Amino acid sequence: MDERNDQSPSPERPTAAADSRWPKLLGRLEQTVRPLARRLGLALGISLDGNLEWLEAHESCRCRSLTGLPPADSAGDSLALVPIPMAPEEGLVVLCPGAAGGPGLSALVEIVGMAWAEIERDAEQESLLTEIGACWECLDTLFRIHADLREIHQAQVLLNRILERAVTFHAGLKAVLWIESEGRLKAVACRNTVPWPDRDPGEGLIGKTIRNRMTTVLNARTPGPDSQQAEPELSDAVSLVIAPAGTREALIGALALWHDTEPVPFDSTRIRLIESVAMQAAAIVESDRFHQASLEGERLKNELEIGAKIQQMLLFKEPPQDIPGLQIGVIMIPSRKVDGDFCEYIRHSNHCLDIAVGDVMGKGIPAALVGAATKSQILRSLCSLLAVARSGTTPSPAQIVNAVHQELSERLIDLDCFVTLCYARIDLDARQLDLVDCGHTKTIHVDAGSGSVRMLSGDNLPLGVSMREVYTQNTVPFSDGDMIVFYSDGITEARDPEGAFFGETGLARSLQDCPCGPPDEFIRTLRQDLAAFTRTEAFADDLTCVAVRIGGQEPAQTSLVTQLELSSRFQQLGRLREWLREVYARDAHEDEDGFHLLDLALTEVFTNIVRHACHEEPGYLIRIQAESRPHRAVITVTYPGEFFDPGTAPPPDFDGNREGGFGLYIISQAVDEVSYSQTAQGDNQVRLVKRFQSIQQGECNNGATGRKGR
């Protein structure tokens, strides 16, 4: 309050003439002192701050001020100025003619002093009573505001109520609460005035108050446009208070109260009340903002939960597990975002199952709803087709997809949305897979007989791209033990931290690691491989994969282990390579390049051992163990001598300046895994893992696929 921009004259120090105590004193002295003075034959004057009033005086000394006092009275006696000791600050004096010092004068001075003290006490009491009244009024207002806070939950209603309370202490007061929002001051609540438009927070008296964070008070102001650059609504104000409305969280604003016609006693008590009200209003606005933010957060969270529920309940369905001759494994890892992946299983008989796997462009609830709508349309179209089909016939996948397309695509085009879909029918009687690919990821067909992996794709566009599209189906025969894998692009487009895609290659490798087990085993491997590849468990996209194994479970192939022992001589290299080709004859035939790289890596390992661990001395024995798994070689080379730490080797020089130093680099590049270790017996070991490729990229038909691009 001390720093207030108070521009009014001091209200606590009125002039003597305006001092209400002065006439009271004179009235009282008139009754008590004047008769006494008359009896004593004294002239008597009283002065307060130079204003002189004669109570009992001769004609000659009737002047009205001390400065106009004659040097002596008519009797020739000088006037004595006797101060009243109890009121020295007021400059109260008693004037007597020359007979000063007599007992009568002392009594007079004492009586005047007592009368003054009494009047002072009365005045103090009166002012205390007024202050208590004002304080009570303020407390009452604050109490009502707090009571409102408990009962009213809408911020706007509360603010209106606060302003209503703030203007009650003087009739005709006007009030506006200004709060800054997005760089502008907005009149969030008004009382007795029109709502004022938004304005710049840096301008005018309000701007100044906000900038300085100090209350502005103008009492008894001359209205009209002035040098204070008052806002238009304040230009006619006779008195005004602008209190800053701020909180610790940097909310800024101001509460302006003013009166256009009357001077309002904005004293310290009322100003403090207005400041309290302004802070209260700021706290309400801020709390409301937090509340709104928290509601928004809650809304987003709810949306995610709804999306997840849609996905779980509408978009996915547990696959049937009781179809003789089919095993189905499913992976479905929801991302933190809601995605539009969906799948549907339609069982026509114990020998015929339709699987539809799809993906909607986009994310969030809209994508999830389009996914649900697509699923629903598939079922409706199927029902319609069945109703008109001849008894005992099932509509073909192409018929179903074309019917869905007719119903759905136009709406999808309107929504600017499209859906990739793979609609497959596994027909166990006909031993064939009928497939309609609408721009979805390629379906994988693992041939159990040859171990080969075919990527099946059609050339149809996604649903919702063109109304002219006619969807065609492709047929692929299958045999017992084959696996058919459907998946979403979340799998192939999963990225490692460097940004590389898991890709079809990653998927094919996971398949090769468990080519004969139940589909659940493949799903587990895939999940591990994905987590290892992306180095995370929280994936960016939904991951969906449905793996179907035709026929019952086959015993898992045991891996074949072969061993060879060679003396530490370079001349053993020929023997080593011959043996390697015998062990991996089938892989060498299927993947000649892959086998050559393994051959190269093993040669480099052996050469390094002979050269560095055995120092080209022939007396050491080197043991090589080869494990043969389907499409995969695991080779362990055990040797005595010095342990070799690959970290100590210098990097290769690719500029041709050095003839050696390529061995380790070749090993690391030629195989999928290499590790160096020591056995408990103190021998050294190098372990190589090489995966062989056996993907035969097969297209159901030629032409570009309709893969969607995101």
Partner 1 sequence: MVQLVEKAGDIAMVVLSGENLDASNEKDFKREIRPILEANKKVVLDMGKLLFVDSSGLGAILSCLRQLNSAGGDLKLCEMTKPVRTLFELVRMHRIFDIYNSRDEALRAFQR
First-to-final CA distance of the chain: 63
Q: Which is nearer to partner 1, 403 or 609 (CB)?
A: 609
Q: For residue 554, count CB atoms less than 10 angstroms from its CB and return exposed for 0-12, middle for 13-18, buried for 19 or more.
A: middle
Q: Which is nearer to partner 1, 183 or 656 (CB)?
A: 656
Residues 6+ apart with CB under 8 A from 598: 580, 584, 633, 635, 670, 671, 688, 690
- The pair phi, psi for residue 239, each rounded to 5°, is -140, 145
Q: Which is nearer to partner 1, 377 or 572 (CB)?
A: 572
Residue 424 CB coordination number (10 Å): 25
**CB of 652 vs partner 1, minimal distance in Å:** 6
Angle at 347 between CA 342 and CA 353, to 5 degrees: 80
Q: Which is nearer to partner 1, 176 or 674 (CB)?
A: 674
**CB of 679 vs partner 1, minimal distance in Å:** 25
**CB of 644 vs partner 1, minimal distance in Å:** 15
Q: Which is nearer to partner 1, 226 or 578 (CB)?
A: 578
Cα dihedral 179, 181, 186, 189 sign? negative
**CB of 574 vs partner 1, minimal distance in Å:** 7
Tokens of 282: 């700021």
Q: Is 521 helix (H, G, I), strand (E, B) or coil?
A: helix
Q: Which is nearer to partner 1, 660 or 709 (CB)?
A: 660
Q: Which is nearer to partner 1, 197 or 651 (CB)?
A: 651
**CB of 484 vs partner 1, minimal distance in Å:** 34
Q: Which is nearer to partner 1, 92 or 670 (CB)?
A: 670
**CB of 588 vs partner 1, minimal distance in Å:** 12
CB 62 within 8 A of CB 95: no
Q: Which is nearer to partner 1, 143 or 570 (CB)?
A: 570
Tokens of 643: 């342990």
**CB of 648 vs partner 1, minimal distance in Å:** 17
CA distance 375 to 378: 5
Residues that bind partner 1 (CB under 8 A): 570-574, 577, 593, 596-597, 599-600, 603-604, 607, 610-611, 652, 654-656, 659-660, 662-663, 665-666, 669-670
646: left (phi over 0), alpha (psi -120 to 50) or beta: alpha
- The pair phi, psi for residue 545, each rounded to 5°, is -150, 130
Residues 6+ apart with CB under 8 A from 464: 408, 409, 411, 412, 413, 415, 417, 418, 419
Residue 298 CB coordination number (10 Å): 10
Integer Rg of the chain from CA: 50
**CB of 595 vs partner 1, minimal distance in Å:** 10
**CB of 691 vs partner 1, minimal distance in Å:** 17
